Every structure is written in structure tokens, then in C-alpha cells.
Structure 1
Amino acid sequence: MADTPDQKKSDHRSERKRRLLPPPAWWPLPACALLGLAAGGAYGVLKAPEYAATSYVVAVPNETTEPATALGFAQAYGRIATSSSTLAYAQPRAGISAQRLRTQVRAETSPDSPMIAITGTSKSPSEAADIANAVADALSLSSNQAAKNTGVQLLLFNQAVAPSDPASPSAALSGAVGLCAGGLLGGLWLLARPARRKEQGTGRPVVEEYASLPAQGEHTETKEKESVR
């Protein structure tokens, strides 16, 4: 028996409904994870690699100075390693402007040893080493001018060399971080959606309850009618 036109239309509508089924409730999790993976991988590929080289300077006390004093001066010299006066000494050897030099060098000290680590960063390995060595030499030169008064002298302990591997994360690592971050955002989205529905569901009965209450004018009119009766 052949199908009637109405049956064909109903079959076509049912097939169309099957095709337009809504996505599963957990779709934000893989979608956000894939977006994070793509964004992290693109960042790792497009961003230029950055290199870091470190030079070490040690504070040495003289014969009449206690070792604890050298440790204190190492902390103080570490704070002025990136000051304007030190960078002015280092700028000619580093070969870059003082403003750019300030953003590409950092100094770190240890509370247990009188040593200062000066790290230079750049897109070029040789330039990163030149920055670290220039600032280390400038710090030693400026501090040793007052060595007779302080009793502490700064000596170059280890000179920075051009690194072979970049310090910035690779494209694979950036993609993995983006994948984890995207998955975390997708999971938070899934956790927030039921709470939102619950809040909307609890708000409806309150509206219906207030809507079922009589208005203020109607309440007074009913009271007057009862008193007349």
C-alpha cells in the first residue's frame, strides 16, 4: 500500500526532528578543551622564543668583617642591581637602551648565602648573556668603590654564557596548558548551569504566590461588604 501525502509529510517532519536534536548537556567540556588547545598551540607557535642567561656575583668580606655582614650587603646590593645608576654603567656594554635593559634583567638573592644571581633575557641567546654580564660587571664596579668603607667586596663568581635552549615554553607545553585551562572552564560551566536552573525554578512559585494574593483595594472592599451585612 502506497503512503499518502500526509504520511510522507509526517515522516519527513520526524526525520527533520531527529536531525535537529539538541547537543548533549556535556558539550561545553570538549568544546572549551579544544578551544584552549588551539589557543595555547597558536600562542606557542607564534610567540618568538625567549632565552635567559644568569651571571653570579658573590659578596666577600675582608679580614676585619664578619661573614654575616657580607650576607646583609649581598641583600642590599641585590636590590640596587636593577637601579638606574647600575643600569647606566651597564648600558654601553649591553648595547641596548637603559629603558629596554630595565625590562630584560632581574636580580635574585638568597637568604642563606651572600650570592647575587643576575639574569638577562632576550630573543637572542648571545644578547641575553651580554646583558647579564654587563649588569654583573657594573654592579661589581659600583659597589667596590665603597669597599673600603663597607668592608665587603663583590667578585664575579660565574660568568653567563649563551644558552642553547629557550626558557619560554614550547608549543606542545603551551597547547597542554591551554587544553587544561579550557577543560577547567568547561567543567565550571557545567557546574554553574544546574545552579542557574535551580534558581529560576525556585523563583517561579514565589511569583505565583504573590500573584494569587488579592490586591489591597479588593481586600478593603470585601471587609466593607462584610461589615454592611
Structure 2
Amino acid sequence: MTDNPTRPHRRSSALHRARTLPPWSLLAAGALTGGLLGGAYGALKPPVYTATAYVVAVPTEKSDPASALGFAQAYGRVATQLAVLGDAQVWAGVPVKTLQGAVRTATSPDAPMVSITATSSRADLASDMANAVSRALTRHAAEAKATTNVELEPFARAVEPAEPSSASPAMTGLVGASAGGLLGGLLLLVRPKDNRREAGRPAAVPSPALAADAHGPL
């Protein structure tokens, strides 16, 4: 088995080229590569649509606003449970697992309101899932109204979104270019220096005045 004498020469040539590249080239190459990859990711990734429905907790004559606020918090947690999603799947036309991965709820500490948000690659399905869970939650609260003295009423239906909520290819390209430029800057910091340039430089000769100051008067 013989050694390849050209391999060390190729490695040294590659290192030499990397050392002699201008500093801005790494930044430009990183930004360009990151921008292209980010733009391609945004163009190839399916769009995501988001729709939100709102329900509000209303106290009955036997209750008060404070109780309504407390039950709104509770219903916000119940909305994504199997008892509610099992009914919602019939109106949404999707399995429970799809609803569990696509539906999120949020409540406010100041208002007895529950927001139900659904995401999907289809705009119509996003609004259908949000409205289906809203309807199922409202019916679930109506069955417990005699015990809780609080009912849920629809406040705003989810409408079919006209535009996706996911980032556009231009935005993902901009993020990719920023990340690529940052990576290029990090590579610039750790790039090996050309020691031959430092070794080839003549040693600095101090001026007579500096030499006199260093050695004192003769």
C-alpha cells in the first residue's frame, strides 16, 4: 500500500485558499446560502391557516360575574379534553387525534371569555374545527348549567382565513440570510491565520529616539 504524496499538498492548498479569502466573502457566502435555503423552505413547506372562535361565560340569576370568570378558566381547560373533542369530531369531520394536535384554547384573567384556535393546511378546515369545538363546548356547558349556574354563549364564530398565518418565503429567506451571515461571522472568527505572512514580515526597527528613551542617555 503506497502513500498518496499529492493529498497533503491539496490540503495545504485548500487551507491556503481559505486563509487568503477576503473577510467579507465568508459573510456574503453565508448570507447567500442561508437566504436561498430559507426561501426554499418557505416555498416548499405547506401553508398553515389559523382560525379562532370565541365563547363567553354568562352567569345566571343564581350566580355572579366572579363565578362566571372562574368557570371560563375551567372550560378553557376542558375544551381540549376527550369529552368535548369526541362530540366536536362529528361536526368537524376529522378524527379526535387531529383535533388534539390542531386545537388550542386560551383564557383571560380579566374577562370570562374562551378563545378556541385551530390550525390546518386548509383554510376551511381550520374554521370548521374551531367552530366545531366551540359548539361542543357550549353544549357541554349547557348540560352542566343546573349545577354551575353558568352558561356558555357563542361570542364570535371562526371565519375562514383569507391568508395563511405561516411565514412567507420572503420572511423565511430573510431569517435564513441573517442566520447564514451570523454563521459566516463565526467562521471568520475561527478562521486560521496565515502564519507565513506574519513570518515574512520584517521585524520592526525602533527609531533612534525610541532607542534612546529605552536605553537611557549614553
Deviations 1:111-142 (A, max 9, x none): 11111110111111111110000000011111
- Within 5 Å, which residues of 2 pair with 1:133-144? 133-144=131-142
Aligned partner of 1:14 in structure 2 is: none
1:160 corresponds to 2:155: no
Q: 1:52 is paired with a residue of what secondary structure? A: strand
Q: Percent identity?
A: 51
Report how far residue 26 of structure 1 moved. Answer: 4.0
| Residue 109 (structure 1) aligned to one of 103, 107, 110 | 107
How many residues align? The count is 177
1:29 alignment counterpart:
27
2:37 corresponds to 1:39:
yes
Over aligned residues, Cα RMSD in angstroms?
A: 2.0
1:79 matches 2:77 = yes
Q: Tell me the distance in 2 between the aligned counterparts of 1:23 and 1:188.
A: 15
CA distance in 1 between partners of 2:163 and 2:38 (Å): 20
Q: Indicate the residue corresponding to 1:89 in structure 2.
A: 87
2:180 to 176, 179, 182: 182
Q: 2:46 aligns with which of 33, 48, 56?
A: 48
Q: Deviations over 1:179-216 (max 9, x none)?
A: 1121222223334x27x88xxxxxxxxxxxxxxxxxxx
Higher relative contact order (CA 8 A, sep 6+): 2
Letter in 2 for 1:25: P
Q: Which residue of 1 aligns with 2:55?
A: 57
Q: Report how far residue 76 of structure 1 moved.
A: 0.9
1:82-119 per-position Cα deviation (integer Å, ceiling 9, x unaligned)? 11111101001110111111111111111111111101
Gaps of at least 5 residues in structure 1 are 1-19, 198-229
Instruction: Give the one of 129, 132, 135 matched to 2:130.
Output: 132
1:27 alignment partner, SS class: helix
Give the distance between the partners of 2:111 and 2:183, measured in 1 at CA. Answer: 43
Give unpaired runs (5+ residues) of structure 2: 1-16, 194-218
Given the alignment of the two structures, is residue 98 of structure 1 paired with residue 83 of structure 2, yes or no? no
Supply the distance in 2 between the matched residues of 1:155 and 1:128 (Cα, whole angstroms): 21
Alignment-derived partner of residue 67 in structure 1: 65
Match of 2:169 in 1: 171
Q: Which amino acid in structure 2 is aligned with residue 77 of structure 1?
A: Y
CA distance in 2, matches of 1:22, 1:42: 31
Distance 2:125 2:43 in 1: 22
- Letter matched to residue 142 of structure 2: N
Larger radius of gyration: 1
